[in-house]
Amino acid sequence: MRRVVVTGLGMINALGHEKESAFKAMCAGECGIDTITIFDPEAYSVKIAAEVKDFDPATVMPPKEVKKADRFIHFGIKAAQEAMADANLPEDTDMERFGISAGSGIGGLPSIEKNSIILDNRGPRRISPFFIPGALVNMLGGFVSIEHGTKGPNLSSVTACAAGTHAISEAVKTIMCNGADKMLVVSAESAITGVGVGGFAAMKALSTRNDDPKHASRPFDKDRDGFVMGEGAAALVLETYEDAVARGAKIYGEIIGFGESGDANHITTPSLDGPARAMKAAYKMAGEPKIDYVNAHGTSTPINDKNETAAVKELLGGKENCPPVSSIKGQIGHCLGAAGSIEAVTCLMAMRDGIIPPTINYETPDENCDLDYVTEGARKAELNIVMSNSFGFGGTNGVLIFKKI
């Protein structure tokens, strides 16, 4: 199998419109969660989210084209542009051997909500002709591939909160199996809408700490009461190790392991067994190395955080063998289908800079969550191998292991 490395990164979330500012704010323990401004949340039981503010889609695509794409696609285009510029690919790159692997958990929910209202109030003839092509999940990859001229495989993963991670593993498989030489991975989400927030709130999945949004998302803390919705996107350029070395590319890291599993348990409640098996598969593929850091799924929900803690301990043979762990969802909320790729970018930047971003808002220990969660600010550390976890509704799990080169 061919070795696969990462040579370009891009990221946008509630802490910044590009990777460097977002990562710096993340490591500083800043929080992008606040009262919702995208719509009026007054009538909702949940009034908080981690919005990407002051973003103008006309900065990433022609103003006349903006209406043809949903907000999640705008974010994805932004992240992809940054990643491609960062990769600094040569002009003679074979674009027929360059593919796309996209991911989103929900896709164009704002467009679905808007056009459903138009249908109800004004009739079917007033539905936008751009509604369907602007809302489909795979159109994220479609728009990005058209912009950059990639003519290799065009794939999409729609696996809830594991979509960003699965998009990366699908790209790795494609390169390993010689289906492409390079892949641009992009995942994005923008579901902070009335129906999105109302739907998750109806499930009792969200934190209701409306009076204290900066402390609402509190992974692994005993008083956690649900996740906070976030939005954003991330992109990674993947290519063969040989190609990257031959062109003198900057290499952020190598993907040495990935694991996937299904819970076969419950549509929304996560199991312990499923995540543990995904971790074990990735760990085995990677050669069972010493892991220096785990970027946890860490949603700030009662069951996930407890189960994930137990799964990490099961993987590594007990608490005493576990490395530092952190979750960035306290800072940027849960970006759903974009979370996995945002966290992958975070892992690679953490390895680059030798720093672990903190788990903020951890105040009261939980006896079921007893690992080293890096709670006293960012921590300097030599990071050679890191693991990133993603688990989604429907019992779909994905795990990635990166190695510094």
Active site residues: 161, 297, 334
Q: Which two tokens stand for residue 312?
A: 């990490």
- Asked if 387 contacts 340 with a C-beta cutoff of 8 angstroms, the reply is no
Contact 385, 286 (CB under 8 A): yes
Q: Which of 15, 30, 23 is nearest to 361 (CA)?
A: 30
Helix boundaries (H) for 177-332: 194-202, 241-246, 273-285, 302-316, 329-332
DSSP string, 345-367: HHHHHHHHHTEEPP-TT--S-BT
142 CB-near residues (< 8 Å, 6+ apart)? 133, 136, 154
Taking CA atoms, 197 is separated from 7, 74, 365, in Å, by 36, 20, 29
At CA 383, angle to CA 378 and CA 388, rounded to 5? 80
The 3-state DSSP class for residue 15 equals coil
Helix, strand, or coil (residue 47): coil
In whole angstroms, what is the distance from residue 358 CA to residue 327 CA? Answer: 7
Three-state SS at 153: coil
202 CB-contact burial (10 Å; exposed 0-12 / middle 13-18 / buried 19+): exposed
Report the distance separating Cα 204 and Cα 222, nearest Å.
17
185: left (phi over 0), alpha (psi -120 to 50) or beta: beta
Widest CA span of the chain, in angstroms?
64
Q: Are the beta carbons of 210 and 46 closer than 8 angstroms?
A: yes
Query: Helix (H, G, I), strand (E, B), or coil: what is residue 393?
Result: coil
